[in-house]
Structure 1
Amino acid sequence: MKLGLVAGEASGDLLGGLLLAGLRERWPALRSEGIGGPKMIAQGFETWWPHSKLSIFGYVDALLNIRELLAIRKQLGDRLLADKPAAFIGIDAPDFNFGLEERLKQQGIKTIHFVCPSIWAWRAERVEKIKRSADHVLCLFPFEPELLHAHGIGASYVGHPLADAIPLEPPQAAARAAIGLAENETVVALLPGSRRSEIKYIAPPMLGAALLMQQARPGLCFVMPVAPGLREMLAPLVPAGLNLTLLDGRSHEALAACDMTLVASGTATLEAALFKRPMVIAYKVNALNWWRMKGKNYQPWVGLPNVLAREFLVPELIQDQCTAENLAREGLAWLDDPARCTAVQARFAEQHQLLRCNTAQRASDAIAQVIGSA
């Protein structure tokens, strides 16, 4: 069995690694190739370009890198058409993957898109693009297949692989020992994101908030996972005197170890919920990106835990509201209210059970069915 895959950033690589682990159980001699990162490579994946090439966020960054991205997509498509995998799986990264999937589908290669674009949140016009591009969509959330079926798009709910990978009871003591933190410390995890643009726009207010929180509660300590290649960009932003430990990756250990987290909107918010950690969600982009996005959303929530709950379980500080002062205020509010923390942790446990349904097996079953229908 040979499959082509593309994952475009750290979160996609994480999903791809978990998916490949399940696929290799079904097909032990599986060959997989395309674009991916270290999690996928650890599962025997052959990457032709580093996944960091696709770690682009927003319209401005995409425009600045459009020529290189289009060249990579053209060369990748040529190579896949020559290699003829049984199917191609695009993992998230819709702006890159849909064009590639459409080309491959037209040439007779079965195409599967893993992670339904959030058409329920914004950009519903993507439905027609999905229909042209993907033979089947693997959905992480239970309400998504019905939306796609209404437009004649094949889809399966497979749950979220992170819900299988993350234990129902987070190993806080073990994580603290691994990082070198004392059991009795109050720990806040800072997760500004894994893209350079997120470090540019979200890390400064997040680090400023950490300093304000430390001034209000001098015993606090902070941990921040740093994506590969971003330490040099991030280190100069750290305020003098901040009790901060920078970690190379290890975001799951940081979330397991912490008492609460300041976290950038995206997959990390779901990871924080699965680790049952109270959180403040931060989101800030280039002003032009924000102008183009503003008004296109169909619901009031941005963070995945809030979307799943259909209510503001946790605070969201978006764009102009994403300031050091606001983040610090909301972060301290969690630390000062243990009963509120306990209540939100119970809601997160419900979400964990909902999404925990052996995603790797469900996904491999759906992929096998798509390939079998070829």
Structure 2
Amino acid sequence: MAGAGRRRVMVVAGEASGDRIAAGLIREVRGREPEVHFEGVAGPAMEAAGCRALFPSDQLAVVGMTEVLRHFGDIRRVFKGLKARLKEAPPDLLVCVDAPDFNLRLAKVAHKLGIPVVYYVSPQVWAWRRGRVHKIGRIVDHMMVIFPFETEVYEQAGVPVTYVGNPLIERIPAVPEQAQARAALEVPGEAPVVALLPGSRRSEVLRMGPVLLRAAELLGERFPDAHFVLPVAGPAVGEVLDELLTEYQPPNFHRVTDSLSAAAAADCAAVTSGTATLETAVVGTPLVVLYKLSPVTFWLAQRLIKVPHIGMVNLVAGREVAPELIQDDAEPGRVSEELGRYLADPAARERARRDLAGVRATLGENPSARAAEVVLGHIRREG
């Protein structure tokens, strides 16, 4: 290990989300024990928090088989470099943040070298290939999970686990009041407002954009004074939306840039399944969850993924607090129907807001601080 004196921790994070999560952890640890040295695979946020970048995190930020193959040389170079570093200058602790395809392999190397491993953000063993938890338990000394229902999976397998809370809570700033959000987006204060969140990726907008825009057209026929806000994540998504708007013309349509402001301004929202469902829940806006894949992918998913709900908001709640429209049900008529139910019934909106407040409370407080205590506990144990 690093030996007496200054404690050293290697942290490995991929993608922007992992960079943010790891940065929060690093700040909290150094706020308690400033002498702890961090190094590893780091992005801008981690570097700003005081982590020395052995490699930039964007070299691990690849999605999909073709992209992995295209960047295989870079990924292999990073892995060999970290493996050599673990052997030549063993840290007191390895902290792996998400990126399971890469990090579980690195954790195995560290374990063989006798270096303790803490893993932050569990692979989704609760959704598919649950048997992986036993393999993880053999190479990981402590798992820090970000959803409350994940603890049971590891406890049953005898793997030390701590629910630290969800880092999303720290990332979302103070949510503006509805009136403030509407004023910022130049949406009328008294009109019914619906947020349309097709996703942040071009492929998601290509698939879900037509469904949401047609649903808005149908809803506009029933509620002529309704306004519709759709956040656009970058120029690639904007180009797709431009093309779609040549075919669909929802009334009172507003293209915006910030999904949180869009959700805060809305009376209800239609949201493609993913992190955005949790973001909308934290904002407190009643929502409908949409999930639609290609027929072949959906057929495979049905056989591999074993969860009671599709929407993360419902998984966290442990019950359906937001209606789910899956595959063939994720069509304009059904979407319009569910959103119309919220617009027509203030009591339904209020019930949904109470349920979402419960979800928000479940996500915890100060996850970075709780994660820091776990990490410091292992560092002190090794000291």
Give the greater-gyration-radius structure (CA): 2
Aligned twin of 1:59: none
Matched, 1:353 2:326: no
How many Å separate the matches in 2 of 1:261 and 1:200? 19
Task: Please give the secondary structure, in 1, of the residue aligned with 2:245.
Answer: coil
1:270 to 267, 278, 296: 278
How many Å separate the matches in 2 of 1:95 and 1:204? 34
Aligned twin of 1:371: 379
How many Å separate the matches in 1 of 2:353 and 2:213? 25
How far did 1:219 drift? 2.3
Task: Please give the secondary structure, in 2, of the residue aligned with 1:34.
Answer: strand
1:303 to 291, 303, 311: 311
> Structure 1 stretches of 5 or more lacking a match?
57-61
How many Å separate the matches in 2 of 1:190 and 1:64? 30
How many Å separate the matches in 1 of 2:189 and 2:146? 34
How far did 1:282 drift? 0.9
The one-letter code of the counterpart of 2:66 is: L
Cα pair distance change 1:39/1:326, threshold 3 Å: farther
Matched, 1:312 2:320: yes
Number of residues of Structure 1 aligned to a counterpart in Structure 2: 365
2:144–2:163 contact (8 Å) kept in structure 1:
yes
Aligned twin of 1:79: 81
1:204–1:237 contact (8 Å) kept in structure 2:
no
How many Å separate the matches in 2 of 1:204 and 1:39? 36
Root mean square deviation, CA, Å: 3.1
Aligned twin of 1:153: 159
Task: Please give the secondary structure, in 1, of the residue aligned with 2:303.
Answer: coil
How far did 1:104 drift? 4.3
1:333 to 316, 337, 341: 341
The one-letter code of the counterpart of 1:5 is: V
How many Å separate the matches in 1 of 2:237 and 2:45? 20
2:215 to 209, 220, 225: 209
How far did 1:344 drift? 1.6
How many Å separate the matches in 1 of 2:116 and 2:224? 57
Matched, 1:118 2:124: yes
How far did 1:43 drift? 4.8
Percent identity, aligned pairs only, is 33
Per-residue Cα deviation, 1:302-360 (whole angstroms, up to 9, x for no partner)? 11222233322211112222222222221122111110110121121122223223211
What is the TM-score of this pair, normalised by structure 2? 0.81
How far did 1:156 drift? 0.6
How many Å separate the matches in 2 of 1:41 and 1:233? 33
Cα pair distance change 1:345/1:2, threshold 3 Å: same
How many Å separate the matches in 2 of 1:314 and 1:109? 43
The one-letter code of the counterpart of 2:133 is: V
> Structure 2 stretches of 5 or more lacking a match?
1-7
2:67 to 65, 68, 80: 65
The one-letter code of the counterpart of 1:78 is: K
Aligned twin of 1:137: 143
How far did 1:121 drift? 3.4
What is the TM-score of this pair, normalised by structure 1? 0.83
1:6 to 13, 24, 45: 13
Task: Please give the secondary structure, in 1, of the residue aligned with 2:13.
Answer: strand
How many Å separate the matches in 1 of 2:363 and 2:217? 35
